[in-house]
Amino acid sequence: MFDYLGKTLKLASVVALSGLTIAAAPQAAQAQEVLNLKLGHIQSEKDLWHFGAEKFKEELEARSNGTITLTIYPNSTLGGDRDMVEGMQMGTADFSLIAGVLGNFAPSIQLLELPYMFQSQEEFDSIISGPIGEEIAADVRENANVRILNWWERGSRQVTSNKPINGLEDLQGLKIRVPEIPAMVSTWRAIGANPTPMAWSEVYTGLEQNVIEAQENPIPFIFGGRINEVQDYLAFTDHKYEYVTLAMSELRWNQLTPEQQQIVTDAAAAATKAENEAVRSQTDQMLQEMVDAGLTVTRPDTAPIAAAAVAAHEAFAAEVDIDLYRRMLAELGR
């Protein structure tokens, strides 16, 4: 004890003579600043998009030990699809669930929006999970300044309407709401319908007031948007195998540390798995609930509808990226 005290006193004397000051040791663990992020989407809390968004929030906050938090804004609170893309470009929105409207900012992704471009979910998955999907994602990063973290499944798109759809003839002149996506406007016009671009937030009221006669979306989206309350019929057209991207502002991504970027990547992968499994397991149940509530289902002959759509593809692709379009067809064996 004496020797230790003597050495301590001696050290103190040396320090005092040298004019140095012994500072208090820093705390072993400083509280880390919390990063608060925002995610917007256009659907209701009832939709599987919101389920997936909540899973992403849960994973993000758990994997970061609470140093990253996420606030979810459903129901177009941050605006429509275009508004949210622009928000991500400016850095006022961090994440968004966004799909074909990205084609207004990065042309190549529009090729995924062509009705009857794909004949099955497996065909679609083979494209987005391969080199062409990587090329499209790179185009979106470069031209839209938006990073696609993952592609979420939504199921195939079907038509709901005020009259039964049994074939191509029933689509002639039909005033059908479509998203603000040029590929879909062009193809539905070639089919013979009267496509009307409209923000999703306006669709329910538009149908209720007969501003439009029909709309088209995957079953979970139709269910989440309560479209069966204002439409009597659903036609299984399977005209598009649908997706939504879990997208992130590239501006925000570049502000993250490598560790934070990995947390975001891992959380996105976990949320994607959960959302895709939910779509596969719950779609039939959602359809049955709508049928039980009075929705009538028809199964039209889609071959003539598909033929009319496909006949318009090449002319549209020529304005976007004809080489990429032809490589997609080659990849699909067509």
Q: How many residues are recorded in the chain?
A: 334
Q: Residue 30: what pLDDT?
A: 44
In the numeric block, the tokens 């995957």 are attached to 218
- Under the banding of pLDDT at 50, 70 and 90, the label for residue 114 is very high
7 vs 263: which has the higher pLDDT: 263
Q: pLDDT at residue 75 above 80?
A: yes
Would you say residue 262 lies in a domain?
A: yes
Token digits of residue 70: 């996420």
Would you say residue 26 lies in a domain?
A: no
Q: What is the mean pLDDT of residues 169-196?
A: 96
Q: How many domains does the chain have?
A: 1
Q: What percent of the chain has pLDDT over 70?
A: 91
Q: What is the mean pLDDT of residues 203-230?
A: 96
Cβ–Cβ under 8 Å, residues 118 and 241: yes
Q: What is the mean pLDDT of residues 305-330?
A: 96
| Rounded-to-10 torsion of CA 310, 315, 318, 322 | 20
What's the rounded Cα separation, in Å, for the pair 29 and 24? Answer: 14
* 244 closest CA partner among 39, 69, 66, 13: 39
Q: Which residue range(s) make up the domain with 112?
A: 35-331
Would you say residue 68 lies in a domain?
A: yes
* 42 closest CA partner among 71, 16, 77, 66: 77
pLDDT in tens, 25-71: 334 334 578 999 999 999 889 889 999 999 999 999 999 999 999 99
Q: pLDDT at residue 14 above 80?
A: no
Report the DSSP pairing between strands 68-73 and 35-40.
Answer: parallel
* 229 closest CA partner among 37, 39, 44, 20: 44
Q: Residue 31: what pLDDT?
A: 57
Would you say residue 6 lies in a domain?
A: no
Would you say residue 14 lies in a domain?
A: no
Percent of the chain that is helix, strand, coil (3-state, to 5): 50, 20, 30
Q: What is the mean pLDDT of residues 254-262?
A: 97
Token digits of residue 195: 């496509």
Average pLDDT of the residues of the chain: 90
Would you say residue 7 lies in a domain?
A: no
Would you say residue 27 lies in a domain?
A: no
Would you say residue 22 lies in a domain?
A: no
Q: Residue 58: what pLDDT?
A: 98
Residue 68, CA distances (Å) to 63, 245, 258 in order = 9, 21, 14
Of 81-90, 97-106, 233-242, 248-257, the one with minimum mean pLDDT is 97-106
CATH of the domain at 137: 3.40.190.170
Q: pLDDT at residue 118 above 60?
A: yes
Q: 262: which residues sit within 8 A by CB, 6+ positions away?
A: none
Q: Sign of the C-alpha dihedral, residues 155, 157, 162, 165?
A: negative
What's the rounded Cα separation, in Å, for the pair 46 and 149? Answer: 23
